[in-house]
Structures are given as C-alpha cells and as structure tokens.
Structure 1
Amino acid sequence: MTKGKIKVSSDNIFPIIKKFLYSDHEIFLRELVSNAIDASKKLQSLETMGKFKGEIGDLTIVVELDKDAKTLTIKDRGVGMDEQEVERYINDIALSGAEEFVSKYKDKADTANLIGHFGLGFYSSFMVADNVEIVTKSHKKSAKAVKWTCDGSPNYTLVDNDRKERGTDIILHISDESKEFLEEFRIRELLVKYCKFLPVKIQFGTNEETVKDKDGNPVKDKDDKEKKITTPNIINNTSPAWKKQPSKLKDEDYKSFYRELYPMNFEEPLFQIHLNVDFPFNLTGILYFPKLKNKIEVQKDKIQLYANQVFVTDSVEGIVPEFLTLLHGVLDSPDIPLNISRSYLQSDARVKQISGHIT
C-alpha cells in the first residue's frame, strides 16, 4: 500500500478560482464587502475583550468607483493586517481568517456573526479584475503598513507602504471584459441586493440635501438660494427588524419593514410571524402573509434567504414547502448549509429540520 499527499499546483488552481468557483461574477462585491464587515466586527470584539485599547472611531465601509482610472475600491477601518498576516491569509488560499478568529476567541467574545468560512472570497476579485492591490495596516501597535499586488497569476509583490491609519483598502483594476462594474448604477444595484442589511454602515457616494430649520423650512443663503450640504450615501439598514426582539417591535415597525423589503408593493400584509430560534439551530426571520387575490399566484422569489445578514438567494424551495411559497419575508440562519460560493442551498438534515420548524 502506498500513501502520499495530493499536490495542488497554484498555476492550475487560479484559473479554476477565477472562472468556475462562483456561479455569477457579480458576487465578488458581496465577498469583498463581507470581508470588510468581518474586519470591522473583529475589531469590535477585540475591544470588548480588552485586547484593543485604541479609538474605534467611525467604522463605515466605503466603496469608491473611479471610472477614469478603471478602479473599484473597498475601504475598511477594521483590524487590518501586518506583513505576516498578509502572507498567511492572502497568500495561503482557503485559509479563513474569520474561522481562525472564531476558534481562538470562541469562549471570550461574540463571534457568531462573522461571515467568512471558506477563505476563498477575496479571490473572487480576480473574476473581474486584471490586477488587485491590498494596502493595509494592522491595529497592532508598531505594525508597519504593507502593499500587496497581484496580476491574477501565482506571482505577487509585497512591499512596505506609508499608510498611517489602521484598516484595509482593496483596489480592483477592472478588466475590459468586466467594465459593467465601472458603472455607478451597477455597483449601487449590487450593494442594495447583497448588502442592504449588513451590520456595519456602507457608504457609496454622497447625497446633497437641503438645510432646514427647526420647523422644517429650507434655510436660505445671502443670495436667497437654498443651502445645501453633502452627506454620505449609506446604502444599508444595519439593524433590520428581524434582528430585533419581537417585544421591542410594534405593528407599524413590521409594516415599515415590509415596505422596505417590497417598495413596489402597495398593499399591506394581513399579519406576520417573527421567527427567533436558537436551538437546535439558529434561525431568525419574519414571514408575512400577503392579502390574497381572487387568483392565487404563487411567486417563489418573495422570501429572501440570508446568512448572517448577507443576502444569499431568493430560491428557497429546499427550505420552504411549496404550499408556503406565497408568503413574503426574510429567513436568516448561519446554520443553513451553503455551497462553497454561498450561492445556493445544499440539502442535508439541517435543512429538513428548519423546514419542519417553519411548517
């Protein structure tokens, strides 16, 4: 009998990651923003444990688009990385920093809401970019900032950088084949689709608002023109209704959230059920019973499935029985088994348990 270790060539695995790992290339933005969320949540956990003594400050994640430079940048002010961590978490494919963090601090802090699991999300960036840069500085004292650059081959460069603030910038140089991701409307569409309920503020662009007095009237300047101010455009609701305790919500809160989910649906639901299960699996959500029309039309895309507030799919046939697909609403569970790209459900005993609870 012969025993050995299977070898994987990085030259061969990169094309697989870039072309076939994810069913839809647009998912790259969900993955990169999820990583930024994890970096921010880790910093909050470290502060709670007393392992970070600095100023947390504003943790808003910023997504910036530069059409002229053909770049898309995702910025966070989370834990950041030093040179050794870049070598470990970026250059070692499929090593999940979130998984390692949970393992290290599972008994000391709330780590249940970290998103990452497979350690592959970052590499989805190469599905749409010719070149990717990481500029990062760790939260650790005396840590030096570094810049990592890769053109999608197994070769990379890692050099010192003069970044002063902790955190990480991921800079994607968008390829000609993926120029749709240089359009503002497309990026906004994806952020709203995948990230609109993530737990850390996400900014994309700015809004111009009229300054108003205490009575709600526009304030005029010396030229009798309305005063305007520029404010960050925050695309997400960091505290959606399903994450709150039912006892804290009123009927109007549920109706307001329904309108947030379905802004083009002008009929209010008949009633709702707020799910909050923590054993033998974790499941939260709100299911709404819509007003039925004379002709019942079963729409199978009205229930949205989330994993730790990240949108996964609206195809929930495996978890919601067909006779209940006329319902609207949200289901969220970190225990729902997903494929490695987090694009669809994998059927197993947990799915049957959750389905049984819903019915």
Structure 2
Amino acid sequence: MQKGKIGVSSDNLFPIIKKFLYSDHEIFLREIVSNAVDATQKLKTLASVGEYKGELGDLTIRVSIDKKKKTLTVSDAGVGMTSEEIDKYINQIAFSGANEFVEKYKNDAQAIIGHFGLGFYSSFMVSKKVEVITRSYKDEAEGVKWECDGSPEFELTNVKKERRGTDIIMYIDDDNKEFLEDYRVEELLKKYCKFLPVEIAFGKKKEWKEDKQVDTDEDNIINDTKPAWTKAPADLKDEDYLKFYKQLYPMADDPLFNIHLNVDYPFNLTGILYFPKLKKNIEVQKNKIQLYSNQVFVTDSVEGVVPEFLTLLHGVIDSPDIPLNVSRSYLQSDSNVKKISSHITKKVADRLNEIFKNDRKQFEEKWDDLKIFIEYGMITEEKFYERAEKFVLLKNTEGKYFTLEEYKNIIKDNQTDKDKQLVYLYATDVDAQFTFIEAAKNKGYDVLQMDGQLDSHFINHLESKLKDSRFVRVDGDVVEKLIPKDEKQEMKLSEGDRLDLTPVFHGQLPQRGKANFLVTFEAMSENDSPVLITQNEFMRRMKDMAEMQGGMSFYGDMPDNYNLVINANHPLVMRINEDKEKDLEKDLKGMKSKISTLDKRRAELEKAKEGKKDEEVPSAEKEELHDVSNKLDELKKKKETLLNEYGQKNKLVKQLIDLALLSNNMLKGEDLNKFVKRSIELI
C-alpha cells in the first residue's frame, strides 16, 4: 500500500474546486462520464492502430446508484490506468494557487479538458470520499485502488479487478443527496450526455406489469451515439432532420428550414440549425441553440458564438475548436470564436438565398414566419444586411411580395415627390387604416403592410440605407400631402370661412386622455372623406419604438397629437359653412362689422406709431390703441364662444368627426353607441 499527499502546495485543493473552478455543482457528472468516454475512445483508437490486440467486448459505460452505501458509480471498460498513471494524472496537480493555475491554462484550456485529472476532481464537489478502482489495458497490468476523503492525503493499494477499465465510486455527502435520486441523475445524463459517442446505461428499461413499473433485462441507454449532425448531409433526408428536431424540442412546432453546418477548415465545426416558427410577439429565447464539444453538452448560452440575431434559431453547434474554461461552462472571447460566428452568419444567409432562388414560392409562403428573424439580423448585423438585401421581401396590402429592387422599380414613377425623394407608403393595421389605404390606391399608389413587431425599427434602418427614400405611414397625412407634388388643388373655403369653422369643429373635439387634436384645413378632392384624423409620422414612430424598448420614455410619456383635417372642398363641409352663416347671420354680421372697423382703426394707430420713440407717441393715441385692442380681443373671444357653442349643438359636425374617429378605430364604448343612435336619427 502507498500513502502520500496530492501534489498541491495549498492546504486544501477542494475548497478551490468547490468555490472557484466549478461554478455549477451538477457538471461533476458530465466531467466523470466524459472522462469515461475519453478512456473508451482511446482504447478504440489503440485497437484500430494495432496497439491493443485484445477483445474490445462490451464498451457500454454504466452509471449506478447504491442508496444503502450512498454511492454513485461510473464504470467504463476503457484504457484504465496503472499506478504510475494514477500518480501522473491524479496525484501530481502541482500548482501554488488557483490564480496561477487559471493563468497557466487560460490560453490552452483544451490541454486539460479530456485528461483524466482536473475534471475528475469535480467529483469532490458532491462527495465526502471518492474511490477509483482501475486496471490498465496493458498486458499483465494489475488492479489498483485509489481513495481520498477530500484532504490532500490519499491511499493507493493493489486490488483484484477482473476486467480492464475504471470505476469511479463517489460517496455522496449530506448536502448533495439529490444525486442519489434516480430521476435527478437521469435528468443530468440526458442534459449533458445525451449525444455522447459511447453508449451510456443507467439502470434497466422499465415496463408496466400488474399496475406497476418493473425492470426488464434491457439496458436503459440514455444517449444517441450518432446524432444527425455527426452524419453527412447526403445521408440524411428531410424526415431525419425533422425527427432530430423533435428529439431536441419535443413540444415545438415543426421548423421552417434547416442548415447543416460541416466545416473542417480553418476550424472544425459541425451542427444543424433550424429556423423555428416565431410568434409575432418575438420570443427572444436565447437558450435554444445547444453548444457541444465533441458531442459533450457545454451550454445553451451561445451569445458568444453566434451573433445576437441568430440566437433566435434552434439546433446544435459542435466544435472542439471553441475554447472553454476549466469547467467547460463559459466561453472565452477569442479570434476563433469570432471566425466561427462570421462563418455561421454567412452560412445562414447563403442558405436563405439558396431557398429564395430555388423555390421562391415556398420562400414567400414562409415569409411571414421568417420576416422577424431576417429583419432582426439586418438591423443588428451589417454583414448580414449586405447579404440579405437580395432576398428580404416587402409585402403589400394585397398580399404580394417584392424584393427591395423590384418594389423600387414598381413605385418610382408614381411615388417620387417634388424633391425627387422616393416615398414608400405603409400601413400598420390594414383594417383600421382601410380608408387611408383606399384613398392612396385611388391615387395609383401602392401601400406596404408593415405590421410586424420590429417594423418600426426596420423602417428606420431602411431609411438610413436606401438612397433618397423615406417611409410614410398611409394615415400620416391627407393623401394629397403624403407624396407632395408640384400641382396644387384650389381651396373653395375662404380664409374667413376657415377661421369661423375652426371653433365650430373645436366644439365637438373628442376628450380622450392625453390626446391633443389640432384642427387644420386641406384642399382635397370632393370625393375624399370630409374629415380625416392623421398623426405626425416622426412622433408616432418614436412613440411606437418607445413601447418596444427602454430608454425612450421621453417619447412614450408625451401626449398623442392628432390632426383633425377638414376637407375644405367637400360638399358636407360647405353645407356646414352655409348653415352656420344662415343660423348665425344676425349675430355674426354685427360682430364681423365691428371687428372689421376695430381692425381698421388698430392698423391706423399702429401705422401712426411707426418710426417714433415711445415718448413721442401722444398719450391719447396710446390709450386709444390699448382700448381698441381690448375691445377686439373681447369681440373675437365672444365670436369664438358663439361659434364653439354652435358647433357643440351641431349633429352633422359631431357625425363627421365620429366618422373620422371610426375609420381610425378610435371610436369605442359609449361614444360608439351614441354615434349609432345619431346615425339612425339622421337617416
């Protein structure tokens, strides 16, 4: 028997392991099973090159629990170890402290990953004692037992062991009893070891007999040793890719497409990525791509390996070239990772372009599901934008799809404004904005459907990319001003009529929360709506974006400002104007005459002041000017109140405003009920 101390200069290696090297206790099982796989793979290699000539036999790795002894055991039939190898791999961990160790291995973590050594020590995170019983594959090797109770002291003895390989027996401590439960161990094996290349058995398969589950004679193999990504694309059919997807995500809807990655230069990378069906309310679940290293599960936090927008994908990436830290749990930033990230971006873009070119019909059918993903990529990744320009689609309100180039050619003749800017009209709600869409179509314009969650951001991004172009929401202004041209329409209402009608319409403006309404008049066609409600494009877009993201609360907290646009050429508006003149003729005539006289006198007094210093103006003139101004203000206020009160009682004014609100989906509840009753009365 040999006794000794593990080669560490710190008083106790194990607190460092528990607190520093391994952040997550559950990965101990991954490390122990991975070491067993490495030992088995090494034996297979030795056999293939003729260095081991014995029978390989059953190479299944077996994981077992003994609840009475409180042990968890991992057994393999791999290369095993001699006492010298135990001394080399287990006893000689020579480092003066954790910091020095990390410094030593930070640029070459792979040098120790896979070695039967450091990963083995993770077993002490959950164990009060660990035994290693092993026998080397070498001829005339004897069995060896190593044991340690978590202090630097160990014992090494020769024992009888019939078969080559290694048993790691972990005596689970009281704080980690969960690892003596079958369900917990199976859960960990399925998480970390589901695709390891050597079969792993955990107990026996069960079947129902006489209303209870009983063990069968068949091993419960928990892993698929040849997952789809390890096979050549030529050997897989569509149903194989779908079957593997269901293996990864049993509850998910079928994916849209997949990409099979298979690179061996300048780095090794395999994997299968899937485009999932994303719901409109973007599910930013950045834990759906699983990262493996030689089929060992590492993490599902892959932000460091793939660009932000690709974290929306599902699937598997496997690369031994992605550097990992000691616990294989966290990615380290280095140039290799950046190369891999760029390559994956290129492969995704190439695959989308290939589908678009080879089967545009299928691409268009799936566009509504792909759209949010592609827009996200174009907004956040410059190189992806450059590639995606060829296949990103715009959908119009008639459900037709166009590339950026195709759409530009369709609208350039009719939708270029007087300043040579190309105007892209769009709707965010086809039903709510139907009236505006129809008005635009009647002018020969085309309207895009931009109702996705990222569309307000995407529109801003496109405006920064497309030369001499801007996007205008179809309800952002009256149709004549959406795309300003040189021609001008005559306005039938005089300036005086417009001044009088403003307070009339103000009398019926809706009172709703923080919303403000500004009454304006526009020269429009007689066939256009009599009253429209529009909203400033910039402010509305800023408020839309503020709803989606933080840091823009300034815009989100501002009131909604709307324009109540009155068609100055519509017969109904002309009728309201005529009725107003007739109904208020007596009062208005006298007021207007007095206002006109006072306006004239004020102008004379203002002219008399011109070029004079204040002290040169006679006091009488000053007093008269002050008196005239006050009387004018009083008369105008009185006139405005008269017109405002007239408007409040005018059912036609209220009806036209409610129609405008209704066409904007802004008339609801009690107001809608009153509108219906009034409509019946008016009919």
Summarize the alignment of residues 112-261 of structure 1 with structure 2, pairs less than 5 Å apart: 116=114, 119-209=117-207, 229-261=216-248
* Cross-structure match for 1:290: 276
Residue 309 (structure 1) aligns with: 295
Q: Does 1:25 align with 2:25?
A: yes
What residue is the counterpart of 2:513 in the other structure?
none
Normalising by the residue count of structure 1, what TM-score does the alignment of the two structures yield? Answer: 0.85
Displacement of 1:12 in angstroms is 3.9
**Aligned residue identity for 2:229:** W
The root-mean-square deviation of aligned C-alpha atoms, in Å, is: 2.1
2:36 is the counterpart of 1:49: no
Alpha carbons 2:89, 2:116 under 8 Å: kept: no
C-alpha displacement at 1:209, in angstroms? 4.8
8 A contact 1:63–1:203 mirrored in 2: yes
Q: Which residue matches 2:643? A: none
Q: 1:3-14 to 2 correspondence within 5 Å?
A: 9-14=9-14
Which residue of the partner structure matches residue 70 of structure 1? 70
The structure-2 alpha-carbon separation of the partners of 1:115 and 1:235, relative to structure 1 and needing over 3 Å to count, comes to farther
SS in 1 for 2:333: coil
Aligned residues of 2:136 and 2:164 also touching (Cα < 8 A) = yes
Match of 2:429 in 1: none
Change (3 A) 1:128 1:268: same
For 1:39, what is the secondary structure of its paired residue? helix
Paired AA for residue 278 in structure 1: D
Q: Distance between the aligned counterparts of 1:338 and 1:136, measured in 2?
A: 29
- The letter for the 1-side match of 2:17 is I
Which secondary structure state, in structure 2, belongs to the residue aligned with residue 203 of structure 1? strand
Structure 1 or 2: larger helix share? 2
Q: Secondary structure at the match of 1:190?
A: helix
- Equivalenced residue count is 320
**Which of structures 1 and 2 has the bigger CA Rg?**
2
Aligned position for 1:90? 90
What is the CA-CA distance between 1:94 and the residue it aligns to?
7.1
What residue number does 1:320 align with?
306
CA distance in 1, matches of 2:245, 2:325: 29
Change (3 A) 1:47 1:118: closer
Q: Report the residue type matching 1:286 in the other structure.
A: I
Query: Could you list the per-position Cα deviations for residues 83-115 of structure 1 after superposition, in whole angstroms to 9, with x for gaps in the alignment?
Result: 1111111111279xxxxxxxxxxxxxxxx9x96
Structure 1, 296-305 or 56-65: larger mean CA deviation: 296-305
Per-residue deviation, residues 295-354 of structure 1 (Å, max 9, x unmatched): 221210110011111111111111111112211000000000111111010011011100
Partner of 2:588: none
Paired with 1:67 and 1:229, the residues of 2 have a C-alpha distance of 20
| TM-fit CA distance, 1:117 | 5.1
Q: Could you list the structure 1 runs, at least 4 aligned residues long, displaced by more than 6 angstroms after superposition.
A: none
State the SS of the aligned residue for 1:11.
coil
Q: Which letter maps to 2:125?
A: M
Provide Cα deviations, 1:28-56, integer angstroms capped at 9, x if missing partner.
00000000000100100000110001000
- Whole-angstrom CA distance in 1 between matches of 2:113 and 2:227: 17
SS of the aligned residue for 1:257 comes to helix
CA distance in 2, matches of 1:320, 1:38: 28
Q: Which amino acid aligns with 2:177?
A: K
Aligned-partner SS, 1:255: helix
Query: Which residue does 2:571 correspond to in 1?
Result: none
- Tell me, in whole angstroms, the C-alpha distance in 2 between the residues paired with 1:311 and 1:228: 29
Q: When the two structures are superposed, what TM-score results if normalisation uses the length of structure 2?
A: 0.45
Contact 1:34 1:115 in 2 (8 A): no
- SS of residue matched to 1:169: strand
Residue 15 of structure 1: CA displacement?
A: 2.1
Greater relative contact order (Cα < 8 A, sep 6+): 1
Superposed, which structure 2 residues align to 1:97-116 within 5 Å? 116=114
Contact 2:8/2:93 (<8 A) preserved: no
The alignment partner of 2:312 has SS state of coil
Contact kept, 8 Å, 1:94 with 1:118, in 2: the verdict is no
Task: Please tell me the residue identity of whatever aligns with 1:295.
Answer: N
